[in-house]
Amino acid sequence: MGVLIKFDDFGRTVALSIANIITIDDGRSMLDASRVCVTGANGFIGRALCPYLQNKGYDLIRVVRRVRARHEVGVGAIGPNTVWAPILKECHAVIHLAARVHVMYEKATDPLAAFRIVNTEGTLQLARQAALAGVKRFLFVSSAKVNGEHGFFSTPDEPSPKDAYAISKWEAEQGLHELAAKSGMEVVVLRPPLVYGPDVKANFLRLLDNIEKGIPLPLGKISNQRSLIFLGNLFDAIRTSLAYQAAAGKTYFVSDGEDVSTPDLIRLLASSLGKSARLIPVPVALIKKAGQLLRKNQEVDRLLGSLVINSSAIQHDLGWRPPFTIQEGIQITVDWYKKRQSNA
C-alpha cells in the first residue's frame, strides 16, 4: 500500500495512507462526494476548511452572503426565502457552516426570532432545496451548547439548549432529521464545543491579548473542565463524517479529547507565548458577585462552569481520532497570533 506525503494546512508534515483517501479495507464504505457545497465559506471555520478540503481533492462551491473573491458564489441574506437551487446542481454533499452566531451586544428586540430566521428557517430552506436537487449528504455543524451551558455529556441525546442561539440550532437539527426521513437525503450533525485556531476571535483572542500584555487574571482558583476543538481536528472530523456511509443519520460530539480547566488553558497559552501565567487566586464567590454587579451573570457562569463532551461515538462508528493534540493546536494558534501581532 502506497503512502502520500503531504504538507498540511497547519504547517506540519503528515503521512496519509492511500487507503484513507480512496477505499477502506475494514468494511466501512465511503460516500462518493467529490463536489461539495460549503456555506459560510468566508467565516472563521470556512476560510480554512475550504483550502483543506481542496487539498484533499474535493471540488468546492464556496457559498457566501456577499461575494468578495472570484471563486465565491453569493446568495445574499440567509433565511426562509433564500434561493439555493442554482448552486446545488450536481452537488454530492453540503457542509452547512453559515449561521447567526453569538452577538456580544444584542440589538434585536426578539433575539430568538432573529436566530431562528437564519439558523433554523434558513438551514431548513437550504436542506429542502438540497434534497430536491438530489444532494446525497447534508452535514450540519451545530453546537455542543444544544446540550446545555454546563455539564458532562456522554451522548448527544440529552438536549437542553438554554440561549437563543442553541435553541435555534436544536430546532434546525430536529427539522433536518424529519426532512431526511421523508426525502432520503442523509443528514449528519456535528456538535463541537469552543473552536479555536488561526483567525480565532472573541473571548479566545481577548485571552491571548491579556496574556501577551501580562495582565493579571483573577482566575487562579477556578476548578472546572472544558472541552475544546482545534480547527485541524474539526476539519478532519468533517471530512471523515462526509465520507463514511456509517455516519448517515448520526449526531456526533467532536472535541480534542483533552479537557482542560480555565487556569490550565491560560498556562498552556502563556507557555506557548513565552510568557508567565499571571493567575491571581480570587475566590470564585467574589467573581460571581462581580458578575452580578456588572450584570454579566451569564458570561461569568460560562467562565466558571464545566462543559465536557464525549467523542467516543464518532471514534467507535468511524474510527476517527483527533490528529492534533491540544498542545499542538495551541502552539499553531499562538504562532498565528505572534505573526498577527508582528504585522499589526
User: Quick one: cell of 262?
Assistant: 480555565
Q: From CA 235, how far away is CA 343, in angstroms rounded?
A: 27
CB 180 within 8 A of CB 130: no
CB 28 within 8 A of CB 20: no
Amino acid identity at 152: F
Amino acid identity at 252: Y
Q: In degrees rounded to 5, what are phi and psi of residue 309?
A: -120, 155
User: Quick one: cell of 297?
Assistant: 451573570
User: Quick one: cell of 293?
Assistant: 454587579
User: Quick one: cell of 16?
Assistant: 496519509
- Say which of 52, 58, 105, 165 is annotated catalytic: 165
State yes or no: is 165 an active-site residue.
yes
* 230, β-bridge pairs: 196
Q: From CA 83, how far away is CA 181, in angstroms rounded?
A: 23
Q: From CA 254, how far away is CA 312, in angstroms rounded?
A: 9
Active site residues: 165
